[in-house]
Amino acid sequence: MKVYLSWTQILFNKNPWLEIEYWLVSYADIWNWKFVNQGWNFKDLFLDSWGFAIRTRGLKLSLENYAKFINTYHKYFTVLANQDTLDTKETLAHQEYLEKETWKYILPVYHANEFLNKDYKLLEYYCEKYPYIALWGIAWWSFKKNIIEKYYNFCFKIGMKYKTKFHWFGVTINQYLKTYPFYSVDSTSWLMWGKFNKILKYQNGKILTIEASHYKKNWLSPWEAGQAPKRLWLGYVARTQYQKYLDSYWKIKWGEYRNER
């Protein structure tokens, strides 16, 4: 499983030697591509359009701009996501436009609201046409557990029929990562916990969050400005360690499914 980490570029200022294995960047953040010539190392780079941020920030970045960006810099990216919206017809139109203008594989996105609106045929259409699809919307809704499980049970029932690989946008809830065989996910949690004076730590198949006050008397003191990169680094390490654990876990539990794809 691939765990793409967002905003890992903030580590490079203190760790220029760092090589990121799986990294997600947003077009809304790097549309002017300032960091491509910085000598930073990345193996697998995921481009998310982040249309929501474009709209809310008032950025003048159109679908046409996005297509031009892809045509210019596509060689740097492993995954190119659609510029989706909560309007299904608009999302499908964007998918068609980007495919036509770039001639690249554009990752389609199936939304939770489409499932709730009983648009089941849309996922069937995606799975029949595309081997790799993104799922989005659960993180931003106050769904009950049974609704979340119905959503993913449905998605993976259809996905297994077509041997579809799924990406989960924006969430890395451990419970669901061990329940459903996502091909890839992305996360900012390794970064966000630092805002709450907490540190991520991997231990025995789990990601733990430790109050930073626990380290008050040692080199990880959260009240010293110079220590922030070290706390970020621990979050990055914890996530990569957990990723390796999940790879081993899934080889046993989901090996047959993964091998058939």
Banded pLDDT at 103 (limits 50, 70, 90): very high
Mean pLDDT of 145-150: 84
pTM assigned to the model: 0.84
Cβ(59)–Cβ(93) below 8 Å: no
pLDDT for residue 217: 53
**To which residue do tokens 């110079």 refer?**
226
- Residue 81 DSSP class: E
pLDDT for residue 223: 44
pLDDT for residue 142: 57
Torsion 195-229-19-42 (CA) sign: positive
Chain center to CA of 18: 20
Q: What is the pLDDT of residues 111-134, one digit of tens each?
A: 988 998 999 999 999 999 999 999
Cβ(238)–Cβ(207) below 8 Å: yes
In angstroms, the Cα distances linking 72 to 50, 61, 75, 239, 249 are 18, 15, 8, 31, 38
CA–CA separation, 114 vs 125, rounded Å?
Answer: 13
3-class DSSP string for 1-45: CEEEEECHHHHCCCCCCCEEEEEEEEHHHHCCCCCCCCCCEEEEE
- Residue 119 DSSP class: -
Across the chain, what does the average pLDDT equal?
Answer: 81
CA–CA separation, 158 vs 152, rounded Å?
Answer: 10
pLDDT for residue 209: 80
CA–CA separation, 77 vs 25, rounded Å?
Answer: 10
Kindly state the tokens that stand for 78: 């492993």
- Residue 75 DSSP class: G
The structural domains of the chain, ordered by start, are: 2-195+255-260 (3.20.20), 196-254 (no CATH)
Mean pLDDT of 21-27: 86
pLDDT for residue 46: 93
pLDDT for residue 159: 93
Mean pLDDT of 204-229: 64
